[in-house]
Structure 1
Amino acid sequence: MGDSIRSGQIRPVDMKDLKSALKEVRPSTTAWLQSARNVVTFANKDGMYDDLAAYLKARKML
C-alpha cells in the first residue's frame, strides 16, 4: 500500500509482500486469550463460554 501511495499507481499485493509482512508482524492475540482464560475460569457458570473453553483446552491454554 505504501508503494502505491508513493508512486501514485495502484499495485496489487503479492506473495512477496505477504512474506515480508510476516517477518515484521507478530501475533497479537496472546494477551486477549490470557484475559479470556480468566473469564472462562471464573465467569462461565451458565456455559456461555463453553466454546472458548474448548478452544483454550485444545491449545493447552486452560
Structure 2
Amino acid sequence: MTQTRDVVVLPPAAYLTPCEIPFDSPPLTRDEAVERDLIWKGALEKCGQKPDKIKQWYQDKQADK
C-alpha cells in the first residue's frame, strides 16, 4: 500500500501582504496632486512586482527538487 502526504509550502509572508496605499485623502492642491502622482507610480510599480517575485520563488522551489 502506498501512502501519500501533502506538503504545503507558502511563499514568504512579505510577498503575500496587501499593497500599501500611499494616501487615503484627495490632494488639496494641483501641485500636491502632481507630487502624489510620482509617489503613486512608485507604489504601484512596487506592488506590481509581487506576482513576479512569487513566480520566481516558485520556480526556485521547483529547481530545488
TM-score (norm 2): 0.26
Of structures 1 and 2, the one scoring higher in RCO (CA 8 A, sep 6+) is 2
